[in-house]
Amino acid sequence: MISADLGKNLEGYVQELVEGGRYGSKSEVLREGVRLIQERETQQEALKALIAKGMTDIEEGRTVPAEDVFSRLKAKYQAMAD
């Protein structure tokens, strides 16, 4: 069992969430909070992996000049607008 001192502001907010019926108990609120943190951490790790891959691609010369990318995008969206 975890006991947490949330401070007055957060404790009051948790109480409002429970009293408003959004959550059935303080524990549900805290579980949801921890789940959201876990989800955010997982997303951040995935982004870090993508950034690392991109950096490796740059270092190994697997890039496309920005001018080429912008030209293709411009043509694509111009065709959509026509």
Residue 52 forms part of a structural domain: yes
Residue 39 forms part of a structural domain: yes
Give me the phi and psi of 50, to 5 degrees please. -65, -40
Give me the phi and psi of 3, to 5 degrees please. -110, 130
Q: How many domains does the chain have?
A: 1
Q: Where in the sequence is the domain holding 32, given as residue range(s)?
A: 7-81
Burial (CB count <10 Å: 0-12, 13-18, 19+), residue 56: exposed
Residue 1 forms part of a structural domain: no
The whole-chain average pLDDT of the chain stands at 97
Predicted TM-score (pTM) of this structure: 0.72
Residue 66 forms part of a structural domain: yes
Residue 24 forms part of a structural domain: yes
What is the predicted pLDDT for the residue at 1?
Answer: 80
CA distance 6 to 34: 13
The model's pLDDT over 15-34, given as tens digits with 9 standing for 90+, comes to 999 999 999 999 999 999 99
